[in-house]
A and B are shown apart, each in its own frame.
Chain A
Amino acid sequence: MSPGLVFDTVLAFSLVVLAVITLRQRTPGEAVVQLMIFGLLLALSWLRVDAPDLALTEAAIGSGVTGALLLAALRRTGFGKPFPAPVSAWLRYPVTLGCAVLGLILSLVVMQSWHHPAGLTELTRQYMPETGTENPVTAVILNYRAYDTLLEIGVLLVAALSVYTLSGPASGTPVKPPGPIFRFYMRIMTPVFWLVVPYMVWVGGRAPGGAFQAGALLSGLGALTLLGPSPWPMRLRRRVVRWGLTLGFTLFLAAAAWMWQHGNFLGYPPEQAKNWILLIEIACTLSIGISLTVMFAGCAGWLHEDPKIAPESAAQAPKRRHP
């Protein structure tokens, strides 16, 4: 048995075990922590099947952002409180059985007749020079199938809006002033984020990276800032936030429609493709970061129905000085 196979077996086994453990936790808090570990292991398994782009996204969004959103929501419902009502056995056992049967059939079918995907890898490589990027994943996301990505950016915008519709009257408990360790961490990490995010956007043209990963990182910075000593994003005007939210989608849509004059929706001329893609990626990074930060604030209960009522954290913010 090669070391790779041993590693994969252990990885696959621990994924299943971790999934079961996650499901069996008694409190949401513990379940979320397990879920984040699960996300990291999943990212590792994407690496094992040579999909570094997916691994990055899984780590950033599947584990990081999702975990942060869930933890922020738990701030309000109670981190250590047990799940309100256990799912009834009538539902639990049939669903478990159904999933198991489906999984079994799926694995049988896949093992029996999986062949190395014919796929479009060859075609993708063939036309790469015309796409304005050297990373095949970016070529697919922002050129060949840019329409999908355009709509996905729309999904994020709509998701952020849906969070707004959930915002009720001001309620959430105010943030505790951050302790010294957190402040120290912030002071080190903030500049690191500001370096890594633009790098992530830029490197997407050649290597794994791009708007989604960079946006997720940016939202990490956003969440840290919201929790930190000076949550300045909370003091932004609603209108500014709305412009920020729509920036990526607007620019993408406008660029796509601008290409009508070249004969095709979203059809960048090859020699300009690189610039267009970079521009769209930058705008989308900002918007993704802002959408996810809005969702974080919404989960934590810091979005309020009436814009005139300033959130508590924002009201307190000016009093707390940066260390």
Chain B
Amino acid sequence: MMPPPWLLTLPVVLPLTFGILTLLFPSDWLARAGRHGALLCAATVVPCTRWIWQAGSLHQSLGGWVAPLGIDLYLDGMACLFLIFGALMGLGISFYAAAYFPPSPDGARTRNDLFWPLWFVTWGGINSLFLTLDLFNIYVTLELISVAGVGLILIAGTPGATRAALQYQMQALIAGLVYLLGVGLIYNVVGTLDLQLMGAELQPGPMKNMGMALMTSGILIKAALFPMHFWLPRAHADAPAPVSAVLSGLVVTVAFVILTRIWFAGLHRLAPFLLPRLLGGLGATGILWGGILALRQTRLKRVLAYSTVSQIGYLFLVFALTFHDAPGQGLVWTGAVYLAISHGLAKGAAFMAAGYLQKAEGSDSLQHLRGCARKHPVAVMVLAVASINLMGLPPSTGFIGKWMMLKASFYTQQWMLAVVMLGGGLLAAAYLFRVFEILLQPAETEFDKTQSDAPQTEKKPTALGYSPRGMLIPAMLLALATLVPVLFITAPEALLRIGAPVPFTDFISPGGAP
């Protein structure tokens, strides 16, 4: 069976096309175009999933030039699972944004209109990153996402956002250059940019080790792993809520996916002895540091941003836990993938709920939001469901991911990591319960005053300039999506095994989810 030529490129082309269209469309079409576009873009995942179930992993060479000369796209289980994740996030974010940005009163174009082209281009770039196998192509696409990210943050239009965008731009520049330097060194030795081609013939050497270290550090800056997280809280907290969801839910995850691609394509054999340990150590420090700082924040979105710093730490433990072909690699890797996906969904939903509270109450400062659970029960409910996942409590996918990694840390006898993982969970519970404690507090005077206002605002959502229902339904669905895989956990795992870069020589029976 021949795959249709558009199979792997359509998930990239369609979002890019909508990026152009939403730039050219008149302002009052945009919300609708965004929603319909999102549905179409998300639908491109269906044929990919069908193909991989029926025929397995797939290579497609762009321009008809096979790998060393051209660029190969590659669909395996991991790419497919992340494409599905991207589609879910994309749908949620697009529907949320359509409700979030107020329609311009007289049909004139506003700064908000630029959200749509920038967001669709980001989506296309992210899909491309899930599929690509080419080191230089990764660089170009990362640049695309970063530059779009700067524009997206700037949409907020506040001085804080401008500063955040500048920092974001700076980290993107440095990260891009460092990564590119590493690619240059590797290319000089190996003579190809294709990950699978070079994976076969990689032997350690000074140039290759150096290149690997540089590439890894570049991606670590993008992923905001602990000491390189300086840019994240500001950028993720000061951006408009849909953009926070894009950056914290999707973009950070993408950096992790790329690093796994690069490592498990064989480059982890190059990594000097120290590097995986270092990554594990940084991840562990990040878990604690992010958690502690999240406890001290006074704004809801800041809490969530620092929570991202903490949760990213978990993902990078995978490199320490699979170190030197340790047994049970497949399990750890599956756990990390689950964790990445569930964190993305939950954090996206949490930022959406926070954005709703910010819009409804005029600020996201925790002091200001005291006792707002009575007025906005659904938004707080979304936060709660997302928090189940962030804390890693049982019915969530986050729990399964953390459980798998915890098991692996016991089997590989890395006790410190196990302790940190458990401690990180407690910290997450602490900073999230602190938020709920404030949100659920009865604030009598405030409440009595606002109760008389509330019915009015509920009746005329159009007067608000945003639609509460339109914002909260996508957020709720995303949050609930983190609980769904528990019901049929074997499906994503079977998907992940198709063309998996990691051997599934488990130390316990395969499919060993709890």
Per-residue B-contact encoding for A111-147, CB less than 8 Å = 1, 0 else: 0111101111001100100000000000000011111
Q: Can you name the residue of chain A whose Cβ is closest to the Cβ of B68? A: A120
A133 to chain B, nearest CB (A): 13
> With A151-B128, A253-B16 in contact, do A127 and B140 touch (Cβ < 8 Å)?
no
Contact with A along B181-202 (1 / 0, CB 8 A): 1000101111110000000000
Complex CA gap A161/B114 in Å reads 7
In the complex, whether B118 has a CB less than 8 A from a CB of chain A is yes
- Pair count A-B, CB < 8 A: 162
Does A275 reach chain B (CB closer than 8 Å)? Answer: no
Known: A151-B128, A165-B114, A242-B23. A266 touches B62 (CB 8 A): yes
Contact in complex: A114, B187 (CB < 8 Å): no
Chain A residues near B69: list those with CB within 8 A: 120, 123-124, 127, 144
Interface residues of A, CB < 8 Å — how many? 56
Q: Does A246 contact B (CB under 8 A)?
A: yes
Chain A residues, Cβ within 8 Å of B425: none
Check A265/B62 contact, CB under 8 A, given A165-B114, A165-B151, A306-B108.
yes
B61: A residues at CB distance < 8 A = 264
Tell me, in angstroms, the Cα distance from A70 to B121 when the chains sit together. 27
* CB neighbors of B among A260-289 (8 A): 260, 263-268
Contact between chains at B24 and A123 (CB < 8 Å):
no
B108 touches A162 (CB 8 A): no
Is the Cβ of B144 less than 8 Å from the Cβ of A113?
no
Q: Which residues of B have CB within 8 Å of A263?
A: 5, 64
Q: Which residues of A contact B147 (CB under 8 A)?
A: 155, 158-159, 162
Docked-complex contact A161 and B140, CB < 8 angstroms: no
A264 — which chain B residues lie within 8 A by C-beta?
5, 60-64
- Given the known interface contacts A109-B207, A158-B121, A265-B9, the answer about A249 and B63 at a Cβ–Cβ threshold of 8 Å is no
Do the beta carbons of B150 and A162 come within 8 Å of each other?
yes
Interface pair A144/B70, CB less than 8 Å apart: yes
Cβ contact within 8 Å between B210 and A105: yes
Cα distance A256–B10 when bound, in Å? 11
B13 sits at the interface (CB 8 A) = yes
B4, closest chain A residue (CB): A260
For the complex, is B206 an interface residue (Cβ under 8 Å from A)? yes
- CB-based contact B13/A144 at 8 Å: no
A111 to B189, CA, bound (A): 13
State which of B20, B111, B191 has its C-beta within 8 Å of the C-beta of A249.
Answer: B20
Q: Does A101 contact B (CB under 8 A)?
A: no
Let me know if B247 is at the binding interface, CB within 8 A. no
Q: Would you list which residues of chain B between 125 and 171 have a CB under 8 Å from chain A? A: 125, 128, 136-137, 140-141, 143-144, 147-148, 150-151, 154-155, 157, 162
- Least Cβ distance of B171 to chain A in Å? 14
CB–CB A119/B191 < 8 A: yes
Expressed in whole angstroms, the Cα–Cα distance for A305 and B206 within the complex equals 52
CB interface residues, A 194-227, toward B, < 8 Å = none
Q: Is A7 an interface residue (CB 8 A)?
A: no
Q: Please tell me if B117 contacts chain A, counting CB pairs below 8 Å.
A: yes
Q: How far apart are the CA atoms of A123 and B194 in the complex, in Å?
A: 15
Give chain B residues whose Cβ lies under 8 Å from the Cβ of A322: none
Interface 0/1 of B57-75, CB less than 8 Å to A? 0001111110011110000
CB distance from B129 to the nearest CB of A (A): 10
Among B95-123, those with CB < 8 Å from A are: 108-111, 114, 117-118, 121
| B181 partner residues in chain A, CB cutoff 8 A | 106
Which residue on chain B has the smallest CB distance to residue A273?
Answer: B63
A148 within 8 A of B: yes
Whether A117 touches B188, Cβ cut-off 8 Å, given contacts A148-B71, A148-B137, is yes
- Cα A109 to Cα B387 in complex, Å, equals 47
- Beyond A145-B71, A148-B136, A159-B147, whether A109 also contacts B206 by CB under 8 A is yes
Which of these, A105, A154, A165, A268, contacts B16 with CB under 8 Å? A154
Besides A124-B69, A264-B5, 10 new A-B residue pairs in contact (Cβ under 8 A), listed by A number: A109-B210, A118-B190, A151-B125, A154-B125, A162-B147, A165-B118, A242-B23, A246-B23, A264-B62, A265-B63
27 contacts between A and B (CB under 8 A): A109-B185, A109-B210, A114-B188, A115-B188, A115-B189, A119-B187, A120-B192, A144-B63, A145-B137, A147-B62, A147-B137, A148-B71, A148-B140, A151-B140, A152-B140, A157-B121, A162-B118, A162-B148, A166-B162, A242-B23, A257-B6, A257-B9, A263-B5, A265-B13, A265-B63, A267-B63, A268-B63
